[in-house]
Amino acid sequence: MASSSLDRFRITGGCRLEGEVSVTGAKNSVLKLMAASLLAVGTTTIRNVPDIADVDIMADLLTRLGCTVTHEGSVVTIDVPAAPLHRADYDLVRKMRASINVLGPLVARVGKAEVALPGGDAIGSRGLDFHIKGLESLGATAHVEHGYVIAEAPNGLIGTAIELDFPSVGATENLMTAAVLAQGVTTIDNAAREPDLVDLGEFLISMGAKIEGLGSPTITITGVKGLKPTDHITITDRIIAGTWAFAAAMTQGDITIHGGRADHMEVMLEKLTSAGAIITSTQDGFRVQMSHRPKAIDVATLPYPGFATDLLPFIIGMNAVAEGHSIVTENVFESRFMFVNELMRLGAQITVDGHHASIDGIPQLSGAPVEATDIRAGAGLVLAALVSDGETTVDGAFHIDRGYPNFAEQLVSLGAKVSRE
């Protein structure tokens, strides 16, 4: 991709991060909420919206589907017409894979959707067959043609029992948003349990949907004839909260994370405690303190409530400077380890074998030019640069901007030497 201006972070290592940060609304939730607004005619309001590029891309997509979208500060309003259009073009979809989330609502509302196959992050193929199979079981016809997923249900959808082979978040979301307007009852077994998905379910319930079992492996949806617009506050971003928690642990720092939901991050916080961090609850979040070099920790990523795949770059980064040897296993996305090649340029001692990374911790990494390949990898490299000797540049900053509003400014406020150029 062409680099824009200021598409590089420059970091001087060796700083301990200390201070307070506030966590904004969850990217993975807000984009799905915006897509689901298509289900009801009229004006839906979404609050606690993060200031990230993907929100504007989703707003452009909804505008193209006939909605009127306003985005002021942390509030987005979406005015949905009686007859939305049904084609999501490649030029927008390729910028952001969450565009696929308009598929379910469009099939449910207008009986047809044509959505370009997504691009976005370079982390594995993440096939869409879960989505296609699920919509077919609800009575739609669905196929891929000329780079588009084309789904049709001219006579509406019919509730059914669906069992997912894998608890895919995207598939659970699309099926849930399609089933709310289907005739009869739909059950989704082996459903995803992520807090973002629960947030979407609660958003749909506030629109008048009948959904039970959110946060459990079985979700039951009783179809209703129509939904009404709503006003909803987005949950805070547990991956950003997790990023700051690892930043404290890696730099032997002390960070209070306002808006961090410890109940959404239990496995991660247990791992940080095992690494030697002291974690305390605060009135509106939690505090992470680390007074010594972290101990190496073995981790395997799993769907929620397991250790989040999005936090993989941070646990690898921490283990790279930890005391001892560790094995980190990636069970969710196949090409998440692209990040490791960049980390090795900073001197990390890592061997990758299939889904496993074997890491020998060293006291300090060594600054070098590296490149971000996706949102989390980029943030992981910036944190690794903080524990590297000398200067590191991280190119591909636009990836990081997609998930972390004002990352450089927040790091500077915690005492880091970071600039954009």
Active site residues: 121
Q: Which long-range contacts (CB under 8 A, 24 or more apart) does 353-357 make?
A: 355/329, 355/330, 355/331, 356/327, 356/328, 356/329, 356/330, 357/316, 357/327, 357/328, 357/329, 357/330
Q: Which helix (H) or strand (E) holds 58?
A: helix 53-64
CA–CA gap between residue 303 and residue 194 (Å, rounded): 8
Under 8 Å between Cβ of 238 and 285: no
Distances (CA, A) of 259 to 237, 246, 304, 421: 8, 16, 20, 30
Note whether 394 and 372 are within 8 A (CB): yes
Q: How far apart are CA 247 and CA 343, in angstroms?
A: 16
The separation between CA 59 and the C-alpha centre of its own chain, rounded to angstroms, equals: 18
CB distance 179 to 159 below 8 Å? yes
Neighbours of 216 (CB within 10 A): 11
Contact 200, 33 (CB under 8 A): yes
CA 342 vs. chain centroid, Å, equals: 21
Phi, psi of 192 (to 5 degrees): -65, 150
Beta bridge partners, 389, equal 366
- Find how far residue 276's CA is from the centre of its chain: 27
CA dist 358 → 188, 319, 355 (Å): 36, 10, 10
SS (H, E, C) 358-392: EEECCCCEECCEEECCCHHHHHHHHHHHHCEECEE
Residue 93 structure tokens: 């979809």
Please, which residues bridge with residue 189 across strands? 163, 218
